[in-house]
Structure 1
Amino acid sequence: MKRLPMVIIALISFTAIFSQDVSTLAKIESNYGDGMIVTPDGDILVSGGYNKTTILKVTPNGKVSTYIDDLPGPVGMGFDSKGNLYVSNYTGNSIIKITPNKVVSDFAKNLDGPAGLAVDENDDIFVTLYGAGFSGTGGKILKFKPDGSFVEYFTGNGLQDAIGIIFDNQKNIYTTNFVGGDLFKVGVNKQMSKPASIPNAKINQITYFDHYVYLPSPNLRKIFRYNVLNGKLEHFAGTGEENVTDGTLKASEFNMPNSCAIDASNGKLYILEHKLGLIREITF
């Protein structure tokens, strides 16, 4: 009888690990969305993409509204420590800055198809270049200081049609090409490696949480994740069938998952279904 509490704890832990479900949180516009980010208040922002002008806001209970409009193709997004939102505009080849009071200003212009965007703990802004005009030949990561000055941070070594970009807890950068399924790692000393590849995958925007890089694939209709500690890539969710089915991770189905965002405070992973305009949710 003395061992019973330990058995109960073990069963509870086992259930918690394997009871993660995919659910549908909200419906937005069909064929909408490219990037996602969670605000400091826990709302989800969804950028329209190259052919849209808006960023939508989705509350944790699924209410949808327009966050801001009149942007030239918003894609990547990132918050600095002061609550300013930086947005890469693919069609406008620019980056804008939006204050907490929604004052919009130009931050950078004349870029070569900016796509992914991430802000580090020093408020430096890192932007991937996909290549303007859908060329897919951008192949660079730029680093901007808060004053707008920038340097070419990394290029080459297979980086080509770069989109997704995030940081892990050790300040390493992870980024992806859109076509080919390659995950690249750029260390703090700018050393490049390719720790994982998903055959035949397209990878758009990615996110990071608790030692995992999450990689939704719109064409394979699955969510993958890479463990930065042990270097293992695994199939995380989705059967690969082109449907929308809520349920357990491996039994769930996705139509076109092309972006994701993490709410680290509440342990939620949000996934954007671009074609059907759905926000899906996984609670950790």
Structure 2
Amino acid sequence: MKHFEHTILLCLLAVPCLLALCPHTALSATTVPLKLYSGLNSPVGIGFDSKRNLYIAEWGAGKVTRIAASGKRSTFADSLNGPSGLAIDKDDNVYVASYSDDLIYKFTPSGQRSFFAQGLATPAGLSFDEKGNLLVANRQTNEILSFSPDLKRQTIATGLQTPVGAVITSRGNYFVSNINGGITLVTPDQKARTINSQLVRPGPGITIDTSDHAYVVDYGSTTVYRIDLTGNLVLIADDLPSPAGITLNNEALYVATWGDGAIYKIDLPKNHKFQNWTYKSAKRIGGHNTYLKIRKPVDSWERNNSLLIRRN
């Protein structure tokens, strides 16, 4: 059994102590999340296939649940150990990261199981690039890995800060969510830099739209943000209990929340121009100016052997 550690998260007092201009923050709530499904057990990775079946990796239940477009639920795969990230390829094959067993499963649309990649180190979030390569956030080694369809392995980035999710842009840049280190941008020549460190605990849920904006959950708060290549943030939704997973489908975001075991839908208005604000007061913490409201999150992951907070 792997060992986990508890993390102490501090609540901030709303006392301004430092004046500075914020180069990144742009906040604007756009819609109230709609709860679609409940009764899940610590959901993390989620994704749709071409038939609009929704697949959900339930960490706490050790299974993948499938919800048809009609709303009918079924168990797609079970007897999994710490299922975390989930991604679906163009042929509707489902890939699931087993965080606790250090491997990735591949399931055919009918549910036939095989090993896709083994010998990893706490794989978390999964996603595909346009060439069909599977991106893997290999948390323990602080790397982003890529696996081609014929299983050729490539290291995309190293030296990250507990990466738990990654997506690629149309020009070959990578957004990486680091549970302990903000949002990193990795260029095609594999140079990495932090573009925003204002989220409390960026989770494995990260997805991208056709305009190269990434959407990322903040598990340490209750929010979902949009972020651009320069690190500017837009608040998309709030009041989500410990959001962990996210996917984008038909102009809407779908978010898996660890705190209440649910799936929420967030509609994204078409051609919507977000209103921006700039904050001038900040609380200085750990060498960074923090401009966002910060809450003490539901500590379910810490109580239940979190997939992301682990002693190496």
Q: Is the 8 A contact 1:204 1:216 kept in 2?
A: yes
Cα-to-partner distance string for 1:141-199 (whole Å, 9 max, x where unaligned):
1121222231323201xx1311111122323211111124x111112222222222225
Q: How does 1:93-242 map to 2 (within 5 A)?
A: 93-131=102-140, 138-156=141-159, 159-180=160-181, 182-211=182-211, 212-228=213-229, 231-238=231-238
DSSP 3-state at the match of 1:71: coil
- Say yes or no: does 1:282 pair with 2:266: yes
DSSP 3-state at the match of 1:34: strand
Report the AA paired with residue 26 of structure 1.
Y
The structure, 1 or 2, with the larger RCO (C-alpha pairs under 8 Å, 6+ apart) is 2
The verdict on how the C-alpha distance between 1:168 and 1:62 changes in structure 2, with shifts beyond 3 A counting, is farther
Partner of 1:12: none
- Say yes or no: does 1:35 pair with 2:45: yes
For structure 1, the residue ranges without an aligned partner over 5 or more in a row are: 1-16, 132-137, 239-252
Measured on the aligned residues, the alpha-carbon RMSD in Å equals: 2.2
Q: Is the 8 A contact 1:28 1:64 kept in 2?
A: no
How far did 1:234 drift? Answer: 2.1
Report the AA paired with residue 253 of structure 2.
L
Q: Distance in 2 between matches of 1:192 and 1:95?
A: 25
Q: Distance in 2 between matches of 1:54 and 1:146?
A: 24
The verdict on how the C-alpha distance between 1:28 and 1:60 changes in structure 2, with shifts beyond 3 A counting, is farther
Partner of 1:261: 247
For structure 2, the residue ranges without an aligned partner over 5 or more in a row are: 1-27, 269-312
Report the AA paired with residue 42 of structure 1.
R
How far did 1:90 drift? Answer: 0.6
How far did 1:19 drift? Answer: 6.9
Q: Is the 8 A contact 1:179 1:203 kept in 2?
A: no
- Say yes or no: does 1:273 pair with 2:274: no
DSSP 3-state at the match of 2:203: coil
Partner of 1:65: 74
Report the AA paired with residue 256 of structure 2.
L
Q: Distance in 2 between matches of 1:72 and 1:113?
A: 11
How far did 1:89 drift? Answer: 0.9
Q: Is the 8 A contact 1:28 1:279 kept in 2?
A: no
Q: Is the 8 A contact 2:40 2:58 kept in 1?
A: no
How far did 1:61 drift? Answer: 5.4
Q: Is the 8 A contact 1:127 1:141 kept in 2?
A: yes
Q: How does 1:84-95 map to 2 (within 5 A)?
A: 84-95=93-104
Please report the TM-score for the alignment, with normalisation by the length of structure 2: 0.70
How far did 1:48 drift? Answer: 1.6
The total of aligned residue pairs comes to 240
Q: Is the 8 A contact 2:85 2:204 kept in 1?
A: no
Q: Distance in 1 between matches of 2:252 and 2:52?
A: 10
DSSP 3-state at the match of 1:70: coil
How far did 1:62 drift? Answer: 4.2
The verdict on how the C-alpha distance between 1:217 and 1:262 changes in structure 2, with shifts beyond 3 A counting, is same
Q: Distance in 2 between matches of 1:268 and 1:167?
A: 19
Kindly indicate which of the two structures has a greater share of residues assigned to helix. Answer: 1
Q: Distance in 1 between matches of 2:48 and 2:259?
A: 21
The verdict on how the C-alpha distance between 1:260 and 1:199 changes in structure 2, with shifts beyond 3 A counting, is closer
Q: Distance in 2 between matches of 1:86 and 1:176?
A: 20
Partner of 2:277: none
Please report the TM-score for the alignment, with normalisation by the length of structure 1: 0.77
How far did 1:64 drift? Answer: 3.0
Q: Distance in 2 between matches of 1:19 and 1:223?
A: 11
DSSP 3-state at the match of 1:203: strand
Q: Distance in 1 between matches of 2:161 and 2:36?
A: 34
Q: Distance in 2 between matches of 1:126 and 1:172?
A: 13
